[in-house]
Amino acid sequence: MPSSPREAAASGERRAHGDLAGARVGVWGLGREGRAVTRTAVAAGAAQVVVVDAATADPGEDFGPKVTLLCGDAHLTRFAECDVVFLSPGVPWFHPQLVALREAGVPLSSATDLFLTSAADRTIGVTGTKGKSTTASFLAHTLQRLGENALVAGNIGLPLLEVPDDPGQTVIAEMSSQQCAAIGASPRIAVVTNLGEDHLDWHGGVDGYVRAKAQIFAGGTQVLICQSRALAQLRGVTQPTVPFPETVITQEAIVDRWPSVDRMNPLSPMIYPHNQENGQLAVLAIEALLQRTLDTAEIIDAIDTFSALPHRLEPVGRTGQTLWIDDSLATTAESVVVALSAMPADRSVAVIVGGLDRGISYAELDEFLLSGQRDVQLIQIPSNGTKIGEAFAAAAPDRVHRAGDLIEAVRLAAGLQVGAVLLSPGAPSYDFYANFEEKSAQFRRAVLQL
């Protein structure tokens, strides 16, 4: 019986990925991927598609008579009758019903798995705790500047199952740990940006999280491009059970020929140290794909023409001398440290933290705050804000403020004498918001109303 996502995805118990004709298909979750899988199953001639979502049975579209839409966990038992069940990324691997399906031998798959079965050879997969969206987007942008046919999809952009069937197009697939976990085929080239603590409730701990990330290359990747620290973590947790590609390249291979900051457009988001590392990994992946070295002019052109992604150190307004910045995608201690490190060292900054409590450690952030590398005012909001910067609060209580919600936090920050106010929550937004976009939108409205 498969005991891990990898074993389940590669299991011979499952019907062939593309062989959904006449199958009874289960779809767990009605998000973007769930909808895409449902459409694909119907188009492939599935005999029946059972879709179960915890929150809604309204898809907002008509899938046709072969699709049964059900709302609530009570209906998850219907999956036991299916020939294959496709899991949405948010379904925890240790959910009791999922454990029961594995024990019953019900074949499991995912939208990412289904796509890679037929398109792995034209795919560059990008994963990591942080930086994967910027890396994937910069990778596609650079390829396009070079005249190549490239598209970003997956965790950002199009759902993978909606990518056009174009053999001449390179697909840059951003993949979360959940998406990596349940794949049997791996992309031709895999990029791992970095590894911190994230989604530990889903994976059952740090080692489970790292093992899930390793699945991006464990199913036949030819070239692995990896941050050196992440490579050490991957090897420490997964060897000798997970096969590594013959070709493994770290960012040290390009550092000596990476252009200096004074040669870059000062408005480019790639001038930040963490984004330079992301860019280096992206260029190494392009060189592996094209089998040639990019020259300095090509790299600088890509850097100078690349725009910041939404919700990643994105300026949203200015009041007086204070710049307001949306970094709402920062959901770990490491990502908050990266955001604060990107702020000018000679200017004070207020950072708003807090969100859904996942039980991760914030020791790295405390260490940074206590080091005095930046002059920081910390504003804590629910649900877990008081757990973020605990040691800093004990050492410098006059620089720590509590607010009842995000709107109050913005008003509080407006009264501080700081050069920038940063929304960098260090936690997901699902405690009070549907998603991070909703939290970001409230932040922007509150700033505009000052």
Taking each continuous run of H as one helix and of E as one strand, the counts in the chain are: 17, 17
132 is an annotated ligand-binding site residue = yes
Rounded (10°) angle between helices 273-290 and 333-341: 100
- Integer Cα distance of 150 and 362 in angstroms: 37
Q: How many residues does the chain have?
A: 450
Q: Residue 270: in which H helix or E strand, if any?
A: none
- Judge whether 102 and 204 are in contact, CB under 8 Å: no
Q: How many other β-carbons are positioned within 10 Å of the β-carbon of residue 381?
A: 27
- Integer Cα distance of 5 and 108 in angstroms: 9
| Residue 130 DSSP label | S
Outline where 146-261 has alpha helix (H): 177-181, 200-203, 206-218, 228-238, 252-255
Contacts of 209 (CB under 8 A, 6+ apart): 177, 195, 197, 198, 199, 200, 202, 203
Rounded (10°) angle between helices 32-43 and 111-119: 60
128 is an annotated ligand-binding site residue = yes
Q: Residue 148 forms beta bridges with which residues?
A: none
205 is an annotated ligand-binding site residue = no
- Judge whether 32 and 6 are in contact, CB under 8 Å: no
- Integer Cα distance of 213 and 176 in angstroms: 8
134 is an annotated ligand-binding site residue = yes
157 is an annotated ligand-binding site residue = no
Outline where 305-435 has alpha helix (H): 333-341, 363-371, 390-395, 406-414
Would you give the distance in Å from CA 443 to the centre of its chain?
A: 22
130 is an annotated ligand-binding site residue = yes
133 is an annotated ligand-binding site residue = yes
Q: Which residues are annotated as a binding site?
A: 128-134
Q: Which residues are annotated as a binding site for ATP?
A: 128-134
